[in-house]
Amino acid sequence: MRKEKGFTLVEILIAVSILALISVMAFRGLSSVIETRMHVSEETRKWHDISLFFSRFGEDLSGLIHRPATDQSGLVLPEFEGKTDYSGPLDANILFTRMGDEDRNDERVGYRLNQGKIEALLWAHVDQAPGTKPDIYPLLSHVRSFELRYLAINNTWVPFWPLPGQIRPKAVQASVTLESGEKIVRTFSLL
């Protein structure tokens, strides 16, 4: 009897099973790499946005000038004002007058937490005409809390500003707590 050359059914089934097992392991490994890459990308983006926010906040504070503002009703506002809460769409947790540059005038700047986002409010002019509205820029998303404290002349931290007889604080401390639980605290000197 002549022996036929080739593979038996059992040998073919074993080869297919091994190939299927290797394919499943490769898919799981690739899937894990893709998930890790997406997570790292999201974290990088989050910390980049936080860095940009604090950079802009610090830059605005470094341009602080001694110039009170006038609101839409003609009421004179302090050059620097800090509150634990704000009262409406044209208000913010912190408001101050910032020096302009050669391309723009001095400006009124504000920051607030609104529906999980820290927003910058920017008035093109320090003294506001009736009906003037600020430009509003969302700077940081997924924020649970935005707390500000102000360093008084006697080196105590207070939650609001101005204090009697003090025009501006010695420093501002900004504390941002993200929805994911991280808390970032930065202190900015105004001296």
Q: What is the pLDDT of residues 83-105, one digit of tens each?
A: 998 888 888 999 999 987 776 78
Query: CB neighbours of 166 closer than 8 A, spacing ≥ 6?
Result: 152, 153
SS3 per residue for 34-101: HHHHHHHHHHHHHHHHHHHHHHHHHHHHHCECCCCEECCCCCEECCEEECCCCCCCCCCCEEEEECCC
As a whole number, the mean pLDDT across the chain is 90
Please write the tens of the pLDDT for every residue from 148-178.
Answer: 999 999 999 999 999 998 889 999 999 999 9
Six token digits for residue 4: 């036929």
**3-class SS of residue 154:** coil
